Structure formats: structure tokens, C-alpha cells
């Protein structure tokens, strides 16, 4: 039996994509703008080992499975088709595949691509969310290459959800590098600054500061003394140079260190933008207690992070594609869980906002940047890593659009006795 016949048996003859294989067989819609091509038997090995998204990812990242056409369109189309058809791979299907390609090729185990963080590699890094392991998993994702991140993120070097207005958020503008993304990232920093109520002379701590975007914005626009900390040395080095170039060294600083090593009671405001995803549900109480202790009475915390749409959903599949290829040890909690942990740590919750649609748009811009700069990106990090990013960002667009994941900003105040030092009707 040829591979296209097996594909047709699994998904049916009316699949909304075209399927081709190295054995010369083909199936699906011959006029489709999306083609899935099995280039070698190694792709079949990967799918046999993991007949799910992990197997497909391994085959695609390693180049043994090729996709012709737009990745987002392919994922959306197949997600709709699989959802409505209830497609799956049965034991009989696997038997037919094995008989078709040969038992030796079928059972021959192939090592995952080097971009995958395997369970064995993680176990060798120490306890989950220990300082040493956190530093290593951050290094795995964020120390890829500053030059690569510039190609994807654009001049702002901001790797968190932007905030769009109606004009800049128009889907017709996505994919055109016209400054819309840069404006939206600046708008995000301005929104965080307004929620924090930044004023000249304040001391701001930005935990998990990335390449220093929030630190520089606060120093430049508000005259705030801002310190950012990151576990990524690549980020810290890049930020230090940029701060010097911007002439902000007297107010802004980024250090390569763990936020847990900073002294308590030293800051008027704290921003946590895209760090909570790396903390873990069990550590949320200690995380927010630590940030609360670092604030002066009357201080504010703005926590900005990806969330689950419901509190009773699992934080994240530790064996899934995102944990293996993108964010090892990553965990997502519901907004209620995060808000409760903040509350229990001593914060009075003053405002909460869901920016889910904004993150879908942000990811669309990043994906367009990657495609526009594809050859340079591959030259910088290799085709396998570039493929991880193409797949991961397109999948995340779909996740935010379909409410699989959300993005919440939650503002908390450390009361000064009974005084929250908040206006009656804040205008954010």
C-alpha cells in the first residue's frame, strides 16, 4: 500500500490539502494551495514513534516532511478538518504503514532533532524551577541569537504582546513592515506605564526584562530610575549596549541575574511582562510574595502574562510541542489563579484586562517578519530552528484566535495601611 492511500484512509479523500510522498503517490485536493510532502522514510519513522503533533513536528523541523504554502493557513485548515471529522491514527493504520514501508524502517528509532529539549536533557539540569534549571531553559530559548530576534521582532526587540489600535490592528496591514508593530509595542509600554502610574524619580523593577524595552521606555518617557533583570546573558549584553546608545545610562540598567537575588523594600513599581509563564503553578505564591516584599508600601505591580481561558485546565502538556521545542518547563494558569495568588500575597487587585486578540495580531507580524527575512534567519540559526519558529508562531496565532490561550494584565497594589494610593477613576 502506498503512503497516499494510507493518508486517504486516515483523513478521508476530501482532505483540504494535497498530500504527496517520496514513493510517487498523491492524494487530497489537487488544486489546493497547501501541499504536505513526505520526503523520506525518516518522516514515517517519526510519525510511527509519535503519531501526533510531536511526530509531525519532528519530521517537519528535521526537513523530512515539507510543507508548501502558508503555515498558518495549513494549521487552521487541518484543525478545522480534524475537529469536524474526528481524524485519528488507528492501530490498523499503523500496521498498514509498517507493512508498506517495511518493518525495519518502521521500527527503527530516530533521534529527535537537536532543537528538541528531551526529558533526559531536562532531568540533567536539576529540579524543575530551581535557579540553575531556570537559567538553562531560558538560555535554550532566549540565547538563540540576538541577530535572529532582530529579524523576527523588528527594531523594538520586544518579545511580548503588543497593543494595537483599530487602524494598526487591521488584518490588511499585517505583513507590511510599516511601523504598525513598533507603534503597537510602544503603545503597550505606555499602557503599562499608565497602569503603574509612573512619575519622575520613581524606582522601577522590571523582572524578566528581555532586551530592556520597558526599562528604556520608563527612563526615557517618565524619568524613572529603572532596573531590569534577565536570566539571558545575550539579552543583558544587547540591552546594555542599547541603553548606552540611547544615552539613558544614568537612569536605566539591565543586569544578568535572578530577580530572587534582589533586595526587598527597594522599589516603587514592578512590571512583570512575560515572566509568570516560566514560574510554575506551585511557585506562584512565593513568586508574588517575593515581588510584594520588594515594593514599598503603596507600590504597584503590573503582571502581564499568557493565561489559560479557565482555571480548571491543565497548566500545559509537559510532553507537548511547545514544552519540547519552545518553552521547556513553561506553565500557563488561568487568570483567576494568578489573581488569587497575587491577592493572597498581599496585593489589592485594582484592574484586570484580557488582550487575547492583540497577541494574535502580534504573532502575525512576527511571522510575517520571519517569512520576509527567511534566508537571513536560516543563515543565522539554521533551517531547523527557523522551522521551529515558523511552526510555533503560526500555531500560537491559531491558539489566541480560538481562545485556547489568552493574555492578561493584572494590576495589584501593596496597600499603605488602608490607602491604595489610586485615583478614584483611573484612566488607563
Average pLDDT, the chain: 89
CA distances from 168 to 159, 204, 386 (A): 18, 29, 27
pLDDT on residue 409: 98
pLDDT on residue 9: 72
Interior CA angle at 161 toward 145 and 377, to 5°?
25
253 vs 317, residue with greater confidence:
253
Contact between 274 and 305 under an 8 Å Cβ cutoff? The reply is yes
- Taking residues 19-24, what's their average pLDDT? 94
Classify residue 38 as left (phi > 0), alpha (psi -120 to 50) or beta: beta
pLDDT tens-digit map of 134-146: 777 777 676 688 9
Say yes or no to pLDDT of 377 above 70: yes
pLDDT on residue 250: 97
- Taking residues 160-174, what's their average pLDDT? 73
- Please report, rounded to a whole number, the percentage of residues in the chain having pLDDT higher than 70: 87
Say yes or no to pLDDT of 296 above 90: yes
Say yes or no to pLDDT of 152 above 70: yes
pLDDT on residue 101: 60
Interior CA angle at 231 toward 338 and 347, to 5°?
25
Residue 300: name the closest of 425, 197, 408, 187 by CA. Answer: 197
C-alpha dihedral sign at 375, 40, 396, 158:
negative
* pLDDT-wise least confident of 49-53, 69-73, 361-365, 387-391: 49-53
pLDDT on residue 178: 59
Say yes or no to pLDDT of 313 above 90: no
pLDDT on residue 43: 92
225-238 burial: b if 16+ Cβ within 10 Å, else e: bbbbbbbbebbbeb
Say yes or no to pLDDT of 88 above 60: no
- Taking residues 41-70, what's their average pLDDT? 91
pLDDT tens-digit map of 92-108: 666 666 666 666 556 67
pLDDT on residue 218: 98
What Rg, from alpha-carbon coordinates, does the chain have? 23
Residue 91's pLDDT band, with cuts at 50, 70 and 90, is low
- Taking residues 173-195, what's their average pLDDT? 85
| CA-based end-to-end distance of the chain | 63
- Please report, rounded to a whole number, the percentage of residues in the chain having pLDDT higher than 90: 66
- Taking residues 335-358, what's their average pLDDT? 97
Interior CA angle at 403 toward 397 and 408, to 5°?
90
Domains and CATH numbers, the chain: 3-107 (no CATH), 134-413 (3.40.50.150)
Instruction: State whether residue 272 is helix, strand or coil.
Output: strand
165 vs 226, residue with greater confidence:
226
Contact between 161 and 361 under an 8 Å Cβ cutoff? The reply is no
User: Which H or E run includes 189?
Assistant: helix 180-196
> 2: Cβ–Cβ under 8 A, 6 or more apart, which residues?
21, 23, 24, 25, 100
pLDDT on residue 82: 62
pLDDT on residue 356: 97
Contact between 71 and 6 under an 8 Å Cβ cutoff? The reply is no
Say yes or no to pLDDT of 402 above 60: yes
pLDDT on residue 172: 53
Distance separating alpha carbons of residues 412 and 202, to the nearest angstrom: 17
Contact between 242 and 212 under an 8 Å Cβ cutoff? The reply is yes
Distance separating alpha carbons of residues 25 and 2, to the nearest angstrom: 6
pLDDT on residue 109: 79
Beta-bridged to residue 129, according to DSSP, are: none
pLDDT on residue 97: 64
Say yes or no to pLDDT of 274 above 90: yes
Pairing outcome for strands 18-21 and 26-28: antiparallel
Cβ neighbour number for residue 193 with a 10 Å cutoff: 21
Distance separating alpha carbons of residues 14 and 29, to the nearest angstrom: 7
306 vs 90, residue with greater confidence:
306
Q: How far is CA 16 from the centre of its chain?
A: 28
Say yes or no to pLDDT of 264 above 90: no
pLDDT on residue 59: 96
Residue 219's pLDDT band, with cuts at 50, 70 and 90, is very high
> To the nearest 5 percent, what fractions of the chain are helix, strand and coil?
50, 15, 35
pLDDT tens-digit map of 344-355: 999 999 999 999
pLDDT on residue 252: 98
Say yes or no to pLDDT of 324 above 70: yes
- Taking residues 301-309, what's their average pLDDT? 97
Amino acid at each position: 500500500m502506498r503512503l497516499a492511500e494510507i493518508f486517504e484512509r486516515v483523513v478521508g479523500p476530501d482532505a483540504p490539502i494535497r498530500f504527496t510522498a517520496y514513493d510517487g503517490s498523491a492524494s487530497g485536493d489537487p488544486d489546493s494551495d497547501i501541499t504536505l510532502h513526505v520526503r523520506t522514510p525518516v518522516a514515517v519513522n517519526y510519525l510511527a514513534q509519535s503519531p501526533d503533533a510531536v511526530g509531525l513536528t519532528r519530521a517537519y523541523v528535521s526537513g523530512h516532511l515539507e510543507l508548501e504554502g502558508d503555515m498558518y493557513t495549513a494549521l487552521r485548515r487541518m484543525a478545522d478538518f480534524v475537529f469536524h471529522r474526528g481524524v485519528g491514527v488507528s492501530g490498523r493504520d499503523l500496521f498498514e504503514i509498517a507493512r508498506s514501508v517495511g518493518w525495519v524502517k518502521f521500527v527503527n528509532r530516530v533521534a529527535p532533532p537537536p532543537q528538541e529539549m528531551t526529558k533526559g536533557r531536562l532531568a540533567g539540569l536539576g529540579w524543575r524551577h530551581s535557579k540553575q534549571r531556570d537559567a538553562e531553559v531560558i538560555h535554550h530559548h532566549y540565547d538563540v541569537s540576538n541577530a535572529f530576534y532582530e529579524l523576527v521582532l523588528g527594531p523594538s526587540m520586544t518579545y511580548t504582546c503588543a497593543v494595537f489600535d483599530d487602524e494598526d490592528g487591521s488584518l490588511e496591514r499585517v505583513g507590511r513592515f510599516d511601523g504598525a508593530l513598533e507603534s503597537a509595542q510602544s503603545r503597550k509600554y505606555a499602557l503599562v506605564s499608565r497602569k503603574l502610574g509612573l512619575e519622575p524619580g520613581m524606582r522601577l523593577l522590571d523582572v524578566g526584562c528581555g532586551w530592556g524595552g520597558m526599562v528604556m521606555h520608563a527612563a526615557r518617557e517618565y524619568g524613572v530610575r529603572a532596573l531590569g533583570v534577565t536570566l539571558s546573558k545575550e539579552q543583558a549584553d544587547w540591552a546594555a549596549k542599547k541603553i548606552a546608545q540611547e544615552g539613558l545610562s544614568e537612569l536605566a540598567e539591565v543586569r544578568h541575574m535572578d530577580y530572587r537575588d534582589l533586595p526587598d523594600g527597594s522599589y516603587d513599581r514592578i512590571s512583570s511582562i512575560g515572566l509568570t509563564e516560566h514560574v510554575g503553578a506551585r511557585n506562584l505564591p512565593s513568586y508574588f510574595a517575593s515581588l510584594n516584599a520588594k515594593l514599598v508600601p503603596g507600590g504597584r505591580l503590573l503582571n502581564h502574562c499568557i493565561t489559560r481561558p479557565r482555571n480548571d485546565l491543565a497548566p500545559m502538556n509537559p510532553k507537548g510541542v511547545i514544552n519540547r521545542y519552545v518553552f521547556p518547563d513553561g506553565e500557563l494558569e488561568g487568570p483567576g489563579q494568578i489573581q488569587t495568588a497575587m491577592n493572597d500575597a498581599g496585593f489589592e487587585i485594582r484592574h484586570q484586562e484580557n488582550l487575547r486578540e492583540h497577541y494574535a495580531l502580534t504573532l502575525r507580524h512576527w511571522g510575517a517578519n520571519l517569512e520576509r527575512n527567511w534566508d537571513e534567519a536560516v543563515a543565522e540559526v539554521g533551517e531547523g530552528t527557523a522551522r521551529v519558529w515558523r511552526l510555533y508562531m503560526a500555531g500560537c496565532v491559531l491558539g489566541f484566535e480560538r481562545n485556547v490561550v489568552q493574555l492578561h494584565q493584572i494590576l495589584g497594589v501593596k496597600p499603605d495601611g488602608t490607602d491604595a494610593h489610586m485615583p478614584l477613576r483611573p484612566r488607563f
